[in-house]
Amino acid sequence: GPAWLHEIAMVDYDFLSDNGQGWERDVRLLAELLKPEQRRRVALCLHGWYDALGAYCFDAQTKQLKNEWVAFGLTRKVQLTQDELRRRMQIARSLGFRVLLYFGDGLAADSGVPGYRDDWAYRSPDGKPITGWQGPDTYGTTYLRNPAHPEVYQWYLDYCDALLKAYGAEF
């Protein structure tokens, strides 16, 4: 990885703590505790910012990210917009921290959300789909996608492109 990556001494993941209010409070408190020259050694990652595992606010038809959505729809119900996500990242960057935005969740896809494709599931030798993460941000059983499936491969390329277009300058 790049040289700055090897200088990271602390990584923090925020899963929209305190119903989405924890990020800004914690970033500002951390800035009070660390000297400005120390902050570049801290990587702060927004996690759980998306609408659902496997969807990640991506509209495959338009190949763009949604402009607004609800994160943790079953539990915390945090209303987010692209502008709000950018604002959160900009706060941390303006204070001198490295900012990371969680990219997908490996190959996990939530079977309980619109757009789930069972034919994209990675399967064991006996034909059963491989299960993945289950948590407060999932609606149904989570299965792993098959990265060798051409449509899965293309979906991730399109998703990455949309993510970079929407937020690349912030992280």
pLDDT digit string, tens, across residues 29-75: 999 999 999 999 999 999 889 999 899 999 999 999 999 999 999 98
Contact 49, 80 (CB under 8 A): yes
> How far is it, in rounded angstroms, from Cα 52 to Cα 109?
8
pLDDT in tens, 63-118: 999 999 999 999 889 999 999 999 999 999 999 999 998 887 679 999 999 889 99
Residue 56's closest CA among 13, 102, 117, 122? 102
Residues 110 and 62: their CA atoms lie apart, in Å, by: 20
Structure token pair of residue 1: 């990885």
What's the mean pLDDT in 2-26?
Answer: 92
Q: pTM, whole model, 2 decimals?
A: 0.91
How many Å apart are CA 105 and CA 119, to the nearest integer?
19
